[in-house]
Structure 1
Amino acid sequence: MVTDGAAGSDPARGPLEVTGARVGEVLDGADLPQACVPRPFLHPVRTLGGVVLTDRHPDDHPWHSGLAVALPDVDGVNCWGGPTFVPGAGYRWRDDHGTATVASAASDGPRLRSEVDWHDPGGRLLLHEDRTLEWGAAPDGWQLLWTSSFRAPGDRPVELGSPGSHGRAGAGYGGWFLRFARCTDVVVRTPDGAGEDRVHGSVTPWIAWTGSFDGGRAHVLVEALDHRDPWFVRVAEYPAIGSALAWRSPVLVRPDEPLVRSFRVTVSDG
């Protein structure tokens, strides 16, 4: 499990263990290139049987890092990584990449609480995130509960946007995001249907991904616990799912009114 902050340990980095198996690694992301937006994430995430489910620095999108929160537009700052979507011009490389740093972290058994501060390229504080991870055994594998609570750091709202909110249809990605390792024979579904075209942009309580990874077949079920954002899904171009905070319109994080998103992830072999 993640260390408890004893001498020589760092609660912001360390393994997640369930029933004696290492199922994940918490990384602070400080070594990521600036263009990939240094930020904390989980990688590798594994099944109890050891199948690796996540990717880091994939060739197609090197700024994708395991399981994380990533935000394409925080008051005009790229906190996703890679090129920035510019209305009317498409994607352009800019020196506008932010950084998310772990301001504090503390663990208590299978629970990690972190304060994450999001900054612009000049170091100005953009957004606070209070993140809680809890993990343990499940009847058919293991389970992760992820909660992110976003707070505006000052007395004015903070606007979260996406390419979708800037006019690129179907590209409202941004928020909780899981980049899978290379896999084949993928089945992605929700209560309303199956297949990338059917589930991308849908608003349902859960989404499930099954695929054949290097090491075996695995299943991931993601449940949205407190809000219904559209699901962002990629299968043909690259393997990933996420929950889109600003699918078509920007979202405001208001002072003294946290924006909370919670997800329960169940990981199974076979």
Structure 2
Amino acid sequence: MSNTISWHDDEKSLTVSLGDLEIAAYTYDATDEQRESPRPFFHPLRTTAGETVSVYRPWDHVWHKGLAWSLPHFGDDNFWGGPSYRKKTDYTWLPNNGRMRHERVLEAGASGSGFRFSHELSWWTQPGEHVVDEIRTIRIEPGPGGDAWTLVFETAMTNVSGRDVQIGSPTTEGRDNAGYGGLFWRGPREFAGGRIEGPGGATGEALRGTRGPWLAFVGQHDDSCRHSTVLIADATTNAQHPPEWFARSEPFACFGPAPFFSQEVTFTAGSTMVNRYAVVIADGDSDQERLANLASLAAETLQAEPVKAGA
């Protein structure tokens, strides 16, 4: 397969191709229902073998959106979608599903051997309060071996609400070991029962709530019976590094770094919060040696100084 990157932008979403294969679509101006907290998302995500490793609006949680930056407990507001967890009432539908609104594209173009896209977002609560301005940047880089590629995701959120906001999770609200929130990946249905893998040979759902620099999921596809690997690495510059992780393999596949898992973080009025991650999409099964190599690739891509479009 060619390592040549190309892209197409329809002013609502962009599609990035590696050679003739579309490997990633990023919907940056989402039009989902309010109760699903409309926000940008990646879907489909594909390996270099053409296998899809994400799902959009699964029937059990229609607010799950492939790979997306989603915060269920942003003060009293929900930028995750779906019902909100409250200790006294469990999960309850509340009029608090916010929206992340695309404002304008800042750049889109070649970045060395890859692709770079940056845009401005504004966050609005369901009642219509403007609470966050965000600059989000993504970078897609082909891997050196032709069997993997890396997505670098960076969010710089500025609190424009005029007050401090506590960012937490269902766990900080009182639900045990349910600290999801942040960059969250939902895998295809056939990945249920797949393998959660961490550094040093640690495996399984026991990794939920533990800290580490990276985590991975290995799943097997229907039809082809091939395997694929998704690995997410946390940047060492992130405030909560190494983060706690939320991960499940049953009844469905999902995981992500959860920087607000067990302790609320105060998002001070007027401050900017930056979080960066590298997501490696790899063809095939992965043992610990390969996972370590993919984690090294993620770290190197995070540390590499990107070449801006037009440079």
Aligned length: 265
SS at match of 2:220: strand
Length-normalised TM-score, structure 2: 0.80
**Aligned partners of 2:267, 2:16: CA distance in 1, in Å?**
30
The match for 1:148 is 155
Output aligned runs, 1:1-270, within 5 Å.
1-3=6-8, 9-10=10-11, 12-28=12-28, 30-105=30-105, 106-109=107-110, 110-139=115-144, 140-184=147-191, 186-214=194-222, 215=224, 216-225=226-235, 226=237, 227-270=241-284
Cα deviation code 1:119-178 (max 9, x no counterpart): 101221122222110002112311111111221114432221211111111111111101
Give the counterpart letter for 2:33 in structure 1. Answer: P
For residues 30 and 162 of structure 2, the distance between their equivalents in structure 1, rounded to whole angstroms, comes to: 29
Using the alignment, how far apart are the partners of 1:98 and 1:2 within structure 2? 30
Paired with 1:30 and 1:224, the residues of 2 have a C-alpha distance of: 26
Seq. identity, %: 29
Which piece of structure 1 moves more, 167-176 or 24-33? 24-33
Q: Which moved more, 1:211-220 or 1:200-209?
A: 211-220
Q: Which stretch shows the higher mean deviation, 249-258 or 136-145?
A: 249-258
Q: What TM-score do the two structures reach when normalised by structure 1?
A: 0.92
Q: Which moved more, 1:195-204 or 1:39-48?
A: 195-204
- Aligned-partner Cα distance in 1 for 2:200–2:269: 36
Offset of residue 181 of structure 1: 0.9
The answer as to whether partners of 1:22 and 1:48 remain within 8 angstroms in 2 is no
Task: Decide whether the 8 Å contact of 1:210 with 1:218 is kept in 2.
Answer: yes
- Structure 2, unaligned stretches of length 5 or more? 1-5, 285-311
Which segments of structure 1 move beyond 6 Å, counting only runs of 4 or more? Answer: none
Q: 1:236 aligns to what SS in structure 2?
A: coil
Q: CA deviation at 1:3?
A: 4.4
Q: Which of the pair is proportionally richer in helix?
A: 2
Partner-residue secondary structure (3-state), 1:47: coil
Which amino acid is the alignment partner of residue 44 of structure 1?
P
Looking at structure 1, the residues matched to 183 and 196 of structure 2 have their Cα atoms a distance apart, in angstroms, of 17
**2: distance between equivalents of 1:138 and 1:268?**
9
Distance 2:171 2:188 in 1: 25
Q: Take 1:228 and 1:151, find their aligned partners in 2: how far apart are those partners? A: 22
Greater mean alpha carbon deviation, residues 29-38 or residues 141-150: 29-38
* 1:232 counterpart letter in structure 2: F
Give the distance between the partners of 1:116 and 1:250, measured in 2 at CA: 23
DSSP-derived class of the 2:35 partner: helix
User: Helix, strand or coil: the match of 2:206?
Assistant: helix
